[in-house]
């Protein structure tokens, strides 16, 4: 599957094929890409995330159909976008990256309201992407509260 560029992206360059914790592995692979994206001006960073989200609807939907499973655990492009949302306007240091990683994974795994509803009710590529967007927004909010407390 990794020979197909669509699957290569949706499967997180192969990280989603990890036998254990593919979502966590996918999020780990999103970190070095984040380190490159963090060099962009905020406007371009946000634009990249928006384009990545729109592309992700297609990528994830395509791979989901090919695999015959809605939101197959190997599809991790949604984790990429969720983590990059988590890190919007957050300092690019190992402490904040670690915090963002942990928070995003917790919200993505626990799926608090309305993340759980979005995960259960929304189908197709949009549904695969949207619950991770919400988890990323929860994690982003937590990091920004922490930023306010640190200042």
Count the residues in the chain: 151
Domains of the chain, by residue range, sit at 5-150
**pLDDT value at position 29?**
98
In angstroms, rounded to a whole number, what is the distance separating the alpha carbons of residues 151 and 19?
A: 41
**pLDDT value at position 34?**
98
**pLDDT value at position 93?**
97
DSSP run (H or E) holding 92:
none
**Which stretches of the chain score pLDDT less than 50?**
none
Q: Which of 38, 4, 24 is nearest to 106 (CA)?
A: 24
Mean pLDDT of the chain: 95
């Amino acid at each position: 599957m990794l020979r197909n560029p669509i699957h290569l992206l949706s499967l997180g360059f192969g990280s989603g094929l990890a036998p254990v914790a593919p979502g966590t592995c996918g999020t780990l692979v999103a970190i070095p890409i984040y380190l490159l994206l963090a060099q962009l001006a905020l406007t371009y960073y946000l634009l990249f995330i928006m384009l990545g989200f729109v592309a992700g609807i297609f990528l994830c939907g395509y791979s989901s159909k090919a695999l015959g499973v809605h939101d197959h655990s190997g599809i991790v492009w949604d984790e990429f976008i969720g983590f990059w949302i988590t890190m919007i306007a957050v300092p690019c240091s190992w402490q904040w990256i670690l915090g963002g990683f942990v928070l995003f994974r917790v919200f993505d795994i626990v799926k608090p309201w309305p993340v759980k509803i979005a995960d259960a009710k929304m189908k197709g590529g949009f549904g695969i992407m949207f619950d991770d967007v919400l988890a990323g927004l929860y994690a982003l909010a937590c990091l920004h509260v922490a930023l306010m407390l640190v200042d």
